[in-house]
Amino acid sequence: MKRSTGLWTAGALIFAIVIGVFSVYSYNLNTRAGQEAQRPVTDLPIEGEGEIPEDYQYILRAQDGRIAVFLPQESEPKMIFDVPVAVLPEYDQRQLESGIYVPDYQTLVTLIEDYIS
């Protein structure tokens, strides 16, 4: 009788330790993922903040709640991506609402890939 009680106690203790380790591991993964999700995609100049760069070729910003690409001096988007801005981190949403000046095509492609992935 004492042996089965001891086995049950040892089993329960091992189970509790495994659950505890799993909980800590899971919490660390979620914390890291949350921190990565909040990292800004870009540090390019934002429309309305500071000086406007003279050498930009595109403006990336939100249009009707989706990501859109504008050419300078044009009011209609050149491209619209079916990616809701609302699913992005708040920082990225604010940047896209303001508009991001993009200096070249390669940077534009990189930003779009970052936003839609």
Domain that holds residue 103: 58-116
∠ CA(16), CA(21), CA(26), 5° rounding? 125
Strand partners, 60: 69, 100
Q: Is 77 helix (H, G, I), strand (E, B) or coil?
A: coil
- Is 22 domain-assigned? no
pLDDT at 39: 47
- Is 53 domain-assigned? no
pLDDT at 73: 87
Q: Which residue has the higher pLDDT, 14 or 13?
A: 14
Domain count, the chain: 1
- Is 1 domain-assigned? no
Q: How confident is the model at residue 65 (pLDDT cuts 50, 70, 90)?
A: very high
Determine what percent of the chain is predicted with pLDDT higher than 90: 44
- Is 108 domain-assigned? yes
Q: How confident is the model at residue 66 (pLDDT cuts 50, 70, 90)?
A: very high
- Is 3 domain-assigned? no
